[in-house]
Amino acid sequence: MHGPSPDTLHPFNGEPHTVFLKNVITRPTIEVGDFTYYNDEAHAAEFESRNVRYHFDFIGDRLKIGRFCALAQGTTFIMSGANHAMTGFSTFPFNIFCDAWRETFDPATIFGHLKGDTLVGHDVWFGANATVMPGVTICSGAIIGANAVVASDVPPFAVVVGNPARVVKLRFDEDTIDRLLEIAWWNWPVEKITRHLVAIQGADLGALEAAAAEDNSRLDAVGQAG
């Protein structure tokens, strides 16, 4: 028993509208985990150039997306290169247009307030046309509503909507969330995930915890037999 290969470019019956995202990423400043997919009727394979905006190597910020994330059409990440200087009276980027204007540029006016890497955990679902602003951390299990603009960090298993995005609820109580983060099924080998899809997709936490403990039980049994 096994699932699809994470190296498959078009995992949805070969249709070009869906890609396992890591297979269309070429830049070392973008990292995407296995089985995370992007769906776009016309431009799925162009995610790197169309949906990661203002991502310049000289800035140095990184985009990291975990495993088993689902990105609907139009999910966009605004990176730190979008920032303009805000320390003076004007925010106009004079320095990018000609040499005479570059001479007066003070890099600290921009680099001094950059927010760093944009981080997405595992099993995060992005609704259509969601936008993530620079330096945001979205924790595992979160749901990002359609058209949401995420400008601040999102807790694990939170549902956020709106502009700016706000938490409208947690998907589970705090104890359940802690236990789910401890289980971290998204880190299991794909063979184990395939065996326990019913528990992963279900709502019986005890069954999922039993599945998580399965390999330890087998190792204990092998050790005792030896």
Cite the active site residues.
Answer: 84
d(CA 7, CA 10): 9
Scanning the chain, the segments in alpha helix (DSSP H) are 47-50, 99-102, 108-111, 174-183, 190-195, 197-201, 205-212, 214-225
CA–CA gap between residue 136 and residue 78 (Å, rounded):
10
Q: How many CB atoms lie within 10 A of CB 181?
A: 15
Tokens in use for 60? 């140095």
Q: What's the order of all strands across the beta sheet hosting 118-120?
A: 30-32, 63-65, 118-120, 137-138
Question: Strands, E, within 141-197: which ranges?
Answer: 143-144, 149-150, 158-161, 166-170
Give the whole-angstrom CA distance, residue 52 versus residue 66. Answer: 16
Apex 20 CA angle, 138 and 76, nearest 5: 45
